[in-house]
Structure 1
Amino acid sequence: MQHDEFIGQVQARARLDSRGAAEAATRASLETLSERIPPPVAEKLASQLPHEIGEHLRRVAAAPDLPATGVRMSREEFFDRVAQRSGADPRKAIHEARCVIEVTDEATVGGLTDKVRQSLDEDLAQMLFAGSSGSADR
């Protein structure tokens, strides 16, 4: 999947009024996800996404102050961080993050998003992956 297609899919699914809003939702969601998951998983995920989009994961995963296992955060804290980064209200941030994860799942292969899901707390994983079918079947 190419960058423009990825952003177009996020924009359409999240019903955003501009590509800029889709870019912001993608950046906010993936940067926050990168804080939460182990850096090696973030790097593998980034390597399967379009370069510009993968950089959102790499930029945070490479931060020297993050632990090797990812930052522990509640479901509420996760979505609050997404909302702060994107400028969306918290309810909209949940919807946008889910859309970004759906598109990310479709853009990757080899069960990679299953590894991401397994690295999250169950309640966050259920909420974040609510619309995602999982890539293990492809």
Structure 2
Amino acid sequence: MQTDRFIAHVYEDCPQLAPDVVHQCTLITLDSLCEQLPKDQTARMAEQLPDEIADAIRAGGDRADTSYVPISLDEFYGKVAFRTELPSQDTQQLVASVIRTLDKALSDGESEAVALDLPSELDQLLH
């Protein structure tokens, strides 16, 4: 899946946001999500995705929290809302769309591996 197509899928679910806002916020969301995954997992994900999206995933993976303190879903939404400067409702809608699109873009095996590696609170995002 190419970057433009990935972003277009997210935009379809968030038409109230400008396309350039969706683009930037999608990259921020992926970066934030990948901070919660092991670096080797993000490297495998990045191999399956276009360059710009892969760069966001690698950046998050490079900053992955090594303290193994799980983040709650509310904390994750708060982090994304802070970074994107979106209202809470738009943040939750965007995050859900980014996760669904990521799930479609990755192979089935990789999607399952991501689900297993996410903190249990964030695992809810994939279901």
TM-score by length of structure 1 reads: 0.81
Aligned partner of 2:61 in structure 1 is: 61
- Mapping of residues 62-81 of structure 1, within 5 Å: 62-63=62-63, 66-67=65-66, 72-81=70-79
Aligned partner of 2:29 in structure 1 is: 29
Structure 1 unaligned regions, length at least 5: 131-138
- Mapping of residues 45-60 of structure 1, within 5 Å: 45-60=45-60
Post-superposition offset of 1:71: 5.5
Give the % identical residues. Answer: 28
CA contact (8 A) 2:34 2:61 kept: yes
**Equivalents in 1 of 2:68, 2:98: separation in Å?**
20
Aligned partner of 1:18 in structure 2 is: 18
Post-superposition offset of 1:70: 5.8
Q: What is the CA deviation profile of residues 85-121 of structure 1, one whole-angstrom value per residue up to 9, with x for unaligned ones?
A: 1111223211111100111111111421211111223
TM-score by length of structure 2 reads: 0.88
* Greater relative contact order (Cα < 8 A, sep 6+): 2
- Mapping of residues 1-138 of structure 1, within 5 Å: 1-63=1-63, 66-67=65-66, 72-126=70-124, 128-130=125-127
Structure 2 unaligned regions, length at least 5: none
CA contact (8 A) 2:100 2:126 kept: yes
